[in-house]
């Protein structure tokens, strides 16, 4: 009998959730969405929606996530809307102006961007959980001035 090491929500260190949103965003988008010219209008569309989705999830005005599972829950449109003060699917949006349209844009099309982002970030977190040195390297690349010592590392 073999043991399955697959984790639905990989556990990452608690210090990750204390990083500034700008650092976390840079870690999730290391090349930067604007790093190169897209090869097609479809790529341009995906890049723009991907960047918008990451900002909505990381920069939500609600309290920051404190666990991996809590962060990944933000990829649910109901949770994401609530983080911005609204209710997904409500007849009248009462949250931050314009966010309802941004969430809706992440959910349309043959391949909704929000689902793709969830898969991408979950896989990245799974990689970082398996290779902690790569997580620390991602922090250093995103924010060379970050002190991992103050975060309980090194």
Of residues 56, 65, 82, 50, the one with CA closest to residue 18: 65
Q: 87, exposed or middle or buried, with CB in 10 Å at 0-12, 13-18, 19+? A: middle
Torsion sign over Cα 95, 101, 104, 105? negative
Task: Report the percentage of the chain scoring pLDDT > 90.
Answer: 69
DSSP H stretches of helix in the chain: 21-28, 41-58, 68-73, 77-83, 99-107, 113-130, 132-142
pLDDT range class, residue 92, cuts 50, 70, 90: very high
Q: How far apart (Å, rounded) are the C-alpha atoms in residues 22 and 140?
A: 13
Each residue's pLDDT tens digit, 22-73: 999 999 987 666 666 778 888 888 889 999 999 999 999 999 999 999 999 9
Is residue 57 in some structural domain?
yes
Is residue 41 in some structural domain?
yes
Q: Which domain holds residue 130?
A: 20-27+37-88+95-142
Other Cβ atoms within 10 Å of 122 Cβ, number: 18
What's the number of domains the chain is made of? Answer: 1
Is residue 50 in some structural domain?
yes
Of residues 131, 90, 149, 19, the one with CA closest to residue 123: 131
12 within 8 A of 122, measured Cβ to Cβ: no
């Amino acid at each position: 009998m073999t043991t399955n090491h697959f984790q639905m929500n990989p556990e990452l260190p608690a210090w990750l959730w204390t990083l500034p949103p700008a650092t976390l965003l840079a870690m999730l988008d290391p090349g930067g969405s604007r790093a190169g010219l897209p090869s097609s209008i479809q790529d341009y569309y995906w890049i723009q929606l991907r960047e918008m989705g990451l900002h909505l999830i990381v920069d939500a005005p609600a309290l920051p996530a404190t666990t991996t599972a809590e962060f990944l829950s933000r990829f649910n449109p109901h949770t994401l809307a609530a983080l911005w003060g609204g209710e997904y699917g409500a007849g009248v949006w009462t949250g931050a102006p314009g966010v309802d349209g941004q969430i809706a844009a992440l959910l349309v099309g043959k391949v909704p961007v929000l689902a793709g982002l969830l898969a991408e970030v979950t896989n990245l977190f799974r990689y970082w959980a398996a290779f902690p040195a790569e997580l620390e390297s991602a922090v250093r690349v995103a924010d060379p001035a970050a002190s991992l010592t103050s975060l309980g590392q090194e």
